[in-house]
Structure 1
Amino acid sequence: MEDVLDNHERIALQFSGGKDSLALLHLMRPFWDRLTVYWLDTGDAFPETEALVEEVAAMVPNFQRIQGRQPETIELFGIPSDLVPVHSTPIGVIARRGGTLIQDRYSCCMRSLMLPMHERMQADGITLVVRGQKNTDPLRAPVESGHVEDGIEYQFPLQDWSDEDVLRFLAEEGVEIPRFYQTLHSSPDCKTCSAYWEEGRAPYLKEHHPEAYEEYQRRLNTISDATAEAIQHFNREIS
């Protein structure tokens, strides 16, 4: 990794607050003085993530916070969902002269998180991005470590690690595992995100963040109402 770093002057370590980026941060400790840690605040971050980020910001020599666009994205494109009925798309709402805007989860993430992060990388002249992406991750960039695009090289030092490898490394380093992982499979970027249902967010929110839980349930009910007609039609077609 040191040979790669030697080829760059402006290096970013993208930190999310999850276990993978936390392991990457400690793995890269010998090179902290040569890179900048970037964290994107979606505008709906968990307090647990905020607290961890404050610790990291005080620990590393160079830290930058990027403002994300989650609230603005939802206002413009609707709440995210793993099911999007056609009449909840922008064209569908226009055609029906009203309705509930809903967007797919990946579009919401792209607009709220990924684009603001990438724009900042370009604005700051970053030529090397180090990220805690693993081949076993269900959601990851479709490129391998060493990929270069738009003048930016991407390196994934944890690419061949498993979740068990990450947890083992953090334990060996004496790093406390984020509380998310007692209930969830990952650390969500937005506490009221109404998508990614496979994470099992509801029990965690209900126990630790009851106000966010109420908003989460409200959004799920909105999705339920919006998708009911389409699901009814679908069930009739396959019966």
Structure 2
Amino acid sequence: MSAVKNVMKNTYRNMEINEFLGQQLKDAGYGGVEIQKTPVGARITVYVTRPGLVIGRKGTGIKDLMAKIEQRFGLPNPQISVLEVTNPEMNPQIMCNRIAQLIERGTAFRRASMWALNTIMSQGALGVEVSISGKLRTERADFEKHTVGVVPKSGDVAGKIVRIGISSVLTKMGLMGIQLRIASKAELPQEFQMVEGGTPAAAAEPATEAAPEAAVEAPAATETKVEQNGQS
């Protein structure tokens, strides 16, 4: 049980660090964090769109950030490295934060959602889904979902190509939660693989008597399909 408790404690602490960095680096375009334990100390990699705001003049900004993390979360000797996000439109956390900022400035949540969908799809995404819940229009909590393209929800493909970003915004009506799912077309696994030096399976198999029967039955199947399409 001690090992399980230790894992749960580290996971909860990483979630708190992620939330803390999201609030501190909101203006720098915060896009996520990776935390690794090393024998020397904790190694923290921060992804932002504007690294200059995080580093500061002569490194003062990143030194203050390391001091705050060490004092608040008790991480010994934290080493922070800042990396720039090359394509922020395909980062779900960055786009989720942008939707929250638009809503906070007074933009309607539907307009902000449509803007995010069009922006992400213009970058070549396979599909996008924006879910907004909370007190949207009245005192009663509501839920809306907007989807464009194809966004797998389960299976091995969903785990490989879909990334999720979560954010929240406090408005006059109350708290609103935002979840953004992006399905990347570039990470989609290939359906076919070219094998060099091999023999095709169809050419290797000898011809059998069942082949002419299959060739005769093929037109009938095609005619049936055309009839069904015509009926529909």
**What's the TM-score once normalised by structure 1's chain length?**
0.24
More strand by share: 2
Q: Which structure is higher in helix share? A: 1
Q: Which has the higher contact order (CA 8 A, sep 6+)?
A: 1
- State which structure, 1 or 2, has the greater radius of gyration over its C-alpha atoms: 2
